[in-house]
Amino acid sequence: MTAAPLLRVLLVLAVAAPPGTWTAQSSGTSARFRGVSVVNASVAWTSGANGTFSRTVDGGTHWQSGVVAGAEALDFRDVHAVDASTAYLLSIGEGDKSRIYKTTDGGRAWTLQFKSSNPKAFFDGIAFWDSRNGVAFSDPVDGRFVIIRTTNGGAQWNEVPPAAIPPAVDGEAAFAASGSSIAVQGSRNAWIGTGGGAARVFRTTDAGATWTAAPTPVVSGTAAAGIFSVAFRDPLNGVIVGGDYQKENEPSANFALTIDGGQTWSLGSPLPGYRSAVAFVRTGSRWDLIACGPSGSDYSTDNGRSWASIDTTGYHALSFLSTLPFGFAVGDSGRIGKWSR
């Protein structure tokens, strides 16, 4: 190989190689984690099966895990952390298994804030714009997704009128695989990704009062396929990932992006398999992308035009700061990985 082609190969490799990797953490539990929320470079919370949660206040050096009293049979698929003392947990399941708990003392005690009274409901995710204003949602009930909102830190949750939400397509639902099928941005924007009968993105620009729905090119049509994760870096630029969770290692139409706030979506380069979570990573002046799933994780430095494999360690969920390349990923058997450069 001559010097010029060799130089081109080296340059390609330099661009494609992820600028970091996952470093294993000790969580102190063997519970499966499905949710993670990073507050700052010191504080992060996780959520998982058997009523389990975990918290670090020193950037991952130590994790303290616990179980919410009375919730030992619940599966916490999503967590939203406010600070070292305050966090919300959302459990999944039909009817009253779908609940929201809140702590204000670092996890020593938890208050049950919401328990679904609808036997047909199955809540999938929760997100907050700030410490008081939040939104959570359920799979469709009687043909429409159920969306609830709070403006007082969860003391009351009020249901959005069904007429303000577009009807669901036959077989359409959402996935509670990573706590990131719902995303918020700013003080009024939010998006929900769906799958099954259709892979659509529901969008609000008025803090959840009204919603619209946009089709996407992500694979759908079966109960296991669709959008599993949504992420936005500003009001206009966002991405979605997913695929078919029964085909973990099969590439498909599993990545798409928008530049108009989710009104329209276009396919990017496919990821090598089903991915359950995606996040933007702030690297200097550049926004990178990271995606993960049970068969591995991948990194993009060019907005999803190409992907480089990080490793084949399985993770279900991830969370990154919006200001620094700092984040965690979580998975089975209490697995936590810290992003290290």
**Do residues 308 and 18 make contact, with C-beta atoms less than 8 angstroms apart?**
yes
pLDDT tens digit at each of 341 positions of the chain: 444 444 333 333 444 578 899 999 999 999 999 999 999 999 999 999 999 999 999 999 999 999 999 999 999 999 999 999 999 999 999 999 999 999 999 999 999 999 999 999 999 999 999 999 999 999 999 999 999 999 999 999 999 999 999 999 999 999 999 999 999 999 999 999 999 999 999 999 999 999 999 999 999 999 999 999 999 999 999 999 999 999 999 999 999 999 999 999 999 999 999 999 999 999 999 999 999 999 999 999 999 999 999 999 999 999 999 999 999 999 999 999 999 88
Residue 209, φ and ψ in degrees, nearest 5 = -70, -40
CATH number at 179 reads 2.130.10.10
Residue 80 DSSP SS3: strand
CA distances from 328 to 87, 285, 304, 315 (A): 17, 21, 20, 10
Global model pTM greater than 0.85: yes
Exposure of 272 in the CB half-sphere (CA atoms within 13 A): 18
Range of the domain at 329: 3-340
Domain total of the chain: 1
Nearest to 105 by CA among 78, 83, 133: 83
Neighbouring-strand partners of residue 46: 36, 54
